[in-house]
Structure 1
Amino acid sequence: MGCRPETLEEIAAELHNCQRCPLSKRRRNVVFGVGDPQAQLVFVGEGPGREEDEKGEPFVGEAGRLLDRILSAMGLNRDQVYICNVVKCRPPGNRDPLPEEIEHCEPYLKRQLATINPRVVVALGRFAVQTLLRDSAPISRLRGHWREYEGIALMPTFHPAFLLRKPAMKREVWEDMKQVLHRLRELRD
């Protein structure tokens, strides 16, 4: 009798009462992830903000609405992709997660990705990109160039929150998303 792969629901249930790091003491909700559990495309951000912590869902604030518009421009919606973060609890004041917080949380991300088994991951923003790639190069140098995470093609790009502050950078993100769409088409053919 073979081992049955774990489900996202089982991973989320295990994470529900997580107390592995200090972020658990201040959170309202664990922000696990949403979308298609068999998505070909996964978006990974850094961590939940205030609105995400309140609702228990990633990318629900203004940056999330911009991500929805990016998805729409790609001919997709949230139900066709999977969206999650490197850490699942909100860092105070939306600061970058600390190395020990990542150390406790990244195994859950790896398990999520192993369960979903996507063809492509899009890492959103400096922190998520540098964490997943273990590369401290500036996001401006990393974005737009294919890399790999856990054996999955990874496209680094700017975070939607950054695009809200610097709308002129939307063009670069759109170029990155065109590469993602091209890669997904190649992998289907």
Structure 2
Amino acid sequence: MTTISAEAQLEELRQRLLADNPCPELAASATQLVFGVGSSTADIMLIGEAPGAKEDQRGEPFVGASGKFLDEMCSAAGLQRSDVYITNIVKYRPPHNRDPLPEEKVAFWPYLAKQIHIIQPRVILPLGRHSGTLFVPGLRISRDHGQPVTVNVAGKERLIIPLYHPAAALYRGDLRSTLLADFVQAAQLARQATQE
């Protein structure tokens, strides 16, 4: 029996998502699908809400100023961007960078759940309120950021640590050190989970 690598499974899922086209209106208004990047066997998975304009152009999540800060977060935790897996709930850019609609999140959830199932991360880091409430209903990011919660996701108990979105630190400089500290703590928890 041949085992398909996680990388190959992710590519199959990407192709299936393109074929299924769960949100044709979003797909039509976007330049391209922004599926995800990083290690297919990552211990840490970062999940944003939806691609922005730069992500839509490049086909990669978290580029531009938010991406640079995300790289800084990884570096502070002793990681490289290639050590983690980065994706969004919604895989196409909403028009005018509007927030994803609830029905769009629902349409893309099965694909995100499958990404999680394939990658099997030790820790999931939802970035921002929209991503966080998908995993932790009732979440208040100002209160709950950096607080580990165990939640059943894709059929398995997983450690969820909601974080502020990197863009928040760009708009509010006072959140920069908070986000860095939360990310470093999350990376430490992922390392501990790997050793257990």
What's the TM-score, normalizing by structure 2? Answer: 0.89
The one-letter amino acid paired with 1:117 is Q
1:59 aligned partner:
62
> In the aligned structure 2, how far is the partner of 1:67 from the partner of 1:4?
30
Q: Is the 8 A contact 1:18 1:24 kept in 2?
A: no
From 158, 164, 172, the counterpart of 1:166:
172
In 1: Cα distance, 2:166 partner to 2:187 partner: 18
What are the ranges of 5 or more consecutive residues in structure 2 without an aligned counterpart?
Answer: none
Kept after mapping to 1: 8 A contact 2:44/2:187: no
Q: How far off its partner does 1:171 sit?
A: 1.8
The structural deviation recorded for 1:138 is 2.4
Q: Do the aligned residues in 1 keep the contact of 2:13 with 2:111 (CA within 8 Å)?
A: yes
Match of 1:73 among 61, 73, 76: 76
Q: Which residue of structure 1 lines up, in the alignment, with residue 99 of structure 2?
A: 96
TM-score, length-normalised on structure 1?
A: 0.92
User: Residues 123 and 155 of structure 1 are in contact (CA less than 8 Å); yes or no, is this contact kept in structure 2?
Assistant: yes
Which residue pairs with 2:148 in the alignment?
Answer: 146
5+ residue gaps in structure 1?
none
In structure 1, the residue corresponding to 2:161 is in which secondary structure?
strand
Shift of 1:166: 0.5
Percent sequence identity over matched residues?
39
SS in 2 for 1:51: helix
1:20 shift after superposition = 2.0
Cα offset, 1:79, TM superposition = 1.1
CA distance in 1, matches of 2:150, 2:174: 27
How many Å separate the matches in 2 of 1:78 and 1:46? 18
Which amino acid in 2 is paired with 1:100? E
8 Å CA contact 1:31–1:58 kept in 2: the answer is: yes
User: What's the counterpart of residue 131 of structure 1?
Assistant: 134
Kindly state the Cα deviation for residue 3 of structure 1 after the two structures are TM-superposed.
8.8
Q: Does 1:155 align with 2:194?
A: no
The two structures, once aligned, show a CA RMSD in angstroms of 1.8
Q: Does 1:83 align with 2:89?
A: no
1:106 Cα offset (Å): 1.0
Please say if residues 31 and 88 of structure 1, whose CA atoms lie closer than 8 Å, have aligned partners that are also in contact: yes
Count of matched residue positions in the alignment of Structure 1 and Structure 2: 188
Q: Which residue of 1 aligns with 2:16?
A: 14
Q: Distance in 1 between matches of 2:134 and 2:94?
A: 15
CA distance in 1, matches of 2:36, 2:96: 21
